[in-house]
Chains A and B, each alone.
Chain A
Amino acid sequence: MMPQRKSAGTLAIELAISVSVFGLLAFFFAMSCVVANAARVNDTVCRDAARAAAQESNKQDARSAARSVVQTYDGVHLVAIAYENKGNDPSAAPYVQVTTSTDVKSPFALWMHTGMQGNRITFTQTYAFPIVNLARVDRADQPDPEDY
C-alpha cells in the first residue's frame, strides 16, 4: 500500500506544480487578451469619435458627436478634443483631433506602450481627421454695397 500512496502523492505534487505553472501562464494569457482587447476597444472608439466629430461644422457639435460615440462604450473616456477650423479655408488644414483613454487593472506589470500606475494600465489613443463640412465665415456684418 505504501508505494502506491507515495506514487499518488508524487503524482499530485507533479500535477499541482504543472497546473500552477500552466495556470499562471493561462492567467497571463487571459490578462494579455483583456489588455489587448482594451487597447483595441479604445482604438476603435477613438477612431469612430474622431470620424463623427469631423463631420460637424462647429466645435460644439463636434464635441457632442464625439461624446455620443464615446458614451456608448463603458470604461472609455474622452480626454481631449481639438477643433481647428479657420473658416472656409482648406489651406488652413481644418481638422479635429480626439484623444480617448481607458484603464485596465492587472496584477502584472506589463511593459507595453502605455503608462502604468500601480496595477493599472492606461491606454491612450489620438486620432485626427480632416473636417469635411467647413463652417462658413459669417459675412452678415458686411455693409451693403452703395449705389454705383
Chain B
Amino acid sequence: MKQKTRTLQCSAPTKINRKQSGLTTILLVFALAFFVLLPIAAFGFELARMHLAYEELKVATDAAALAAGTTRANLAMTDPGNQERQAIAIGLYLFKKNAVFGRVLDRTTYGAYPGSGMEPGRAYLQFFFERQRVRAQSWLCVAPAFGLSLLPPQVISVNSAASGMPKLDIVIALDTSHSMTQETPVFVVKRFMDGGKLQHKIQMHAKLGSKRMNEKYATGWPYFPMDLGARGDVLFDADLRVQHKHLPEEGQPPGKDKGTADAFTDMVIDIPTSGSSYFAGIMDESAKAAVLVEAFRGNLENSAVFESSGAKTALAGIVEPRAGFQNEYLKIAQAHLPLFSDAVKEVVKFIDAVHESSDAHFGLTTFSGIASRKDFDHFRWFKVSPRVPGAGQIDVKLPYVDLSHNGDQYDAVHDALVDENGVPQFVPEQGTDTGGSVQAALEMLHDRSKSRDDAKRIVVLVTDGMPRRTDGDYFHNYPLALHPSSTDAATHAAYEAAKDARREGIPIFAVAFLHIWDRSEAREGRHVLNEMVRLAKHGSQYYESRDIPGLREDLGSVARQLVRLVN
C-alpha cells in the first residue's frame, strides 16, 4: 500500500501534467505559429517587399537621372538656354514610363515630397542640376501586401541616383583641311591697266568649291585659304598662274604679264556689306569687289600706297584709304569662311558643354596635310606657293595643346581654336592626315604623366573627308615630302591608328562632316571612317552630317554618349 500510495502520489500528478502539457504545448505551438512566427514572417516578407520596391524605384530614378543628364548634354550643344527645363520634362516623362511592382509610375508629381498626406501609388521626383552632374531624388508611397493592419503605407525615398559625365580625358583631333572652306562665297576679280587706269572686272562670283569654280580654276582654290592667312597675293587665273614669275608684293601696283596684259586675277571673300560689318557704309556696292581686292592687297592702307598702286584710278571717291583696312578685311574674311569657321565654333561649343558637365581634361591636335604635335605646331610655308618662292614665306599655325595631368587645359584649347570674338585663330591647309592626328591623340592619352588613371580616355575626331596626304608636286619642300603622299598610304595609316586605339582601349568618336559635293569622295570618306570605328572597338561610334546643324547635333550626341550613371 505504501508503495501503491507512493505510486499514486507520484503518478497521479504525472498523468495530469502530461495531459495538460500536451494540450498546452499544442496551444502554445499554435499560438507561437499564428501570433508570433506568422507575423514575424509577414513582417519579414513586407521588409523584403519594401526592399524590392526600393530597388525598383532606384532603377526608375536612375533612368530618370540618365534621361535628364543625356538631355542636358545634348541640349548644351543645340539649345543651351532651354536645357534644364527640357531635362526635367524628359526625366519626368521617363520616370513615369517605369514601374514598381508592375505598376507604372504615372501618378508622379515633379517636386519634393511634401512630408505627409501621401497615398499609396503616388510618387514625387525632383532633380538637382549641379556643375558636373544631375542628381535625382524620388519618393514613393507603397501599401503593405498584408493589409493596413500590420503596417501603415511606407514612403520609400531614393536619393542617391545621380547622373553626369565621368572623369574624361578627351583629345580633339580637328581637321583643318582646305575643303572646309569650299562653301565660301568669293569674287574672282581681274585687275588690269587700261589706258593708264586700273580697272577691275569680276570674272566670277561663286562658292569656292563649286563645280563651276573648279572647272575654271581647277587647281587654284587650294591656295586660297593659305594665302588668306599669309596675307599675300592671290594668283588664280589658270592661264596666268603658270606663266607668271613676278608677283607684286603688298601695296604695289599690278605687274606686267608677258603674253596677256598688265593683269592679275585675285580671289577675295565676299564680305556682306550690310549690318555691323566694318565695310558697311563705306563701300559702294557696285565697286565692292574692287574695294575688297585692294583692301586685301594692302593698297588702301594710306594715301601714298593708294596713289602708287594706281587703285585710285578705279576707286577714287569711293573709299578713303586709312590704316587698318587690310587687317580688318582679313579678320572679317576669316570669320566668313562659313564651314570652317562654323565647324570650329561647334567644336568649341562641344568643349564648353563637356567642360560644364564633367570633370574633363582636354588635349588638341589639328591636322591638314600633317598633324600637329608637341614639337610641330607651326611650319614655314610659301606665301603664295612653292612655284613662286619670291613672294616669301610665313609661319603657318597648326594648333596643338598637350593633355595635362594637373590641369584641364580648357582655356588653352579654347584660346588655340578661337580668339575673343570666336573667330578661328588659324587657316585651313591642304591634305587630311587623319591617321597622324589619331596617333598624336593616342600618344597624349597613352602618356601616364598626362592622362589620369581613373579617367575615361577618348578621341573625338572631326573630319570632312578622305585621309589624304598632300601631293609632293606643290609641297616638295614641305615636311610632308617625308611621308607617303598617296591616299592609299594615308588610309592605311588611319587604319593602323585605329588598331592602336583598340590596343590602348581608347574609343574613337568619328564625326564625319561630309559637306563635300563630290559624292564619291563622301562615300569613300564614310567608308574609311566607319572602318576606323569598327577597328577601334571599345564603344567607338561613327556620326555623319552634311551641314552645321547636323554637325552640332552629332557633337551633341557624342556629349550624350559620354553621360553615365555615377552610382
- Extra A-B contacts (8), CB below 8 Å, given A28-B41, A147-B207, A147-B210: A3-B15, A36-B48, A50-B63, A93-B89, A95-B67, A128-B97, A132-B66, A147-B211
Q: How far, in angstroms, from A121 to B55 measured CA to CA in the complex?
A: 21
With A88-B553, A133-B541 known to touch, is A128 a contact of B52 (CB < 8 Å)?
no
B101 lies within 8 A of A113 (CB): yes
> What's the A-B contact tally at a CB cutoff of 8 Å?
147
A127 lies within 8 A of B145 (CB): no
Q: How far, in angstroms, from A147 to B97 measured CA to CA in the complex?
A: 49
Q: How far, in angstroms, from A124 to B56 measured CA to CA in the complex?
A: 12
Q: Which positions 28-47 of chain A face chain B at CB distance < 8 Å?
A: 28-29, 32, 36, 39-40, 43, 47
Question: Contact partner of A113 among B15, B37, B102, CB < 8 A?
Answer: B102
B145 lies within 8 A of A112 (CB): yes
Q: Which positions 197-225 of chain B face chain A at CB distance < 8 Å?
A: 205-207, 210-213
Interface size on B, residues (CB 8 A): 69
Contact of A109 with B by CB under 8 A: no
B264 to chain A, nearest CB (A): 23
Contact of A5 with B by CB under 8 A: no
Residues in A whose Cβ lies below 8 Å from that of B99: 125-127
Q: Which positions 77-119 of chain B face chain A at CB distance < 8 Å?
A: 78-79, 86, 89-90, 93-94, 97-99, 101-104
A130 lies within 8 A of B55 (CB): no
Residues in A whose Cβ lies below 8 Å from that of B63: 50, 127-130
Contact of A83 with B by CB under 8 A: no
Contact of B560 with A by CB under 8 A: yes
Contact of B484 with A by CB under 8 A: no
List the one stretch of B26-34, B361-369, B472-480 in contact with chain A: B26-34
Chain A 110-132 near chain B by CB (<8 Å), digits 1 or 0: 01111000000001111111101
* Chain B residues within 8 Å of A, Cβ to Cβ: 11, 14-15, 18-19, 22, 25-26, 29-30, 33, 37-38, 41, 45, 48-49, 52, 55-56, 59-60, 63, 66-67, 70-71, 74-75, 78-79, 86, 89-90, 93-94, 97-99, 101-104, 145-146, 183, 185, 205-207, 210-213, 517, 519, 541, 543-546, 550, 553-554, 556-557, 560-561, 563
A144 lies within 8 A of B74 (CB): no
B59 lies within 8 A of A25 (CB): no
B102 lies within 8 A of A25 (CB): no
A131 to chain B, nearest CB (A): 8
Question: Contact partner of B517 among A25, A111, A144, CB < 8 A?
Answer: A144
Residues in A whose Cβ lies below 8 Å from that of B45: 32, 36
B56 lies within 8 A of A25 (CB): no
Q: How far, in angstroms, from A125 to B99 measured CA to CA in the complex?
A: 7
A43 lies within 8 A of B90 (CB): no
Residues in B whose Cβ lies below 8 Å from that of A13: 22
B42 to chain A, nearest CB (A): 9
Q: How far, in angstroms, from A138 to B86 measured CA to CA in the complex?
A: 25
Residues in B whose Cβ lies below 8 Å from that of A88: 553-554, 556-557
A64 to chain B, nearest CB (A): 17
A29 lies within 8 A of B90 (CB): no
Q: How far, in angstroms, from A144 to B514 measured CA to CA in the complex?
A: 11
Q: What are 28 A-B pairs at a CB distance below 8 A? A: A3-B14, A13-B22, A14-B25, A21-B29, A22-B33, A36-B48, A36-B49, A43-B55, A88-B553, A88-B556, A90-B75, A90-B78, A91-B71, A91-B75, A91-B90, A93-B71, A111-B146, A112-B145, A113-B101, A124-B102, A125-B99, A127-B98, A130-B67, A132-B66, A132-B560, A139-B546, A147-B206, A148-B185
With A125-B102, A148-B185, A148-B205 known to touch, is A132 a contact of B94 (CB < 8 Å)?
no
With A25-B33, A127-B59 known to touch, is A14 a contact of B66 (CB < 8 Å)?
no
Q: How far, in angstroms, from A144 to B207 measured CA to CA in the complex?
A: 14
Question: Contact partner of A114 among B22, B33, B102, CB < 8 A?
Answer: B102
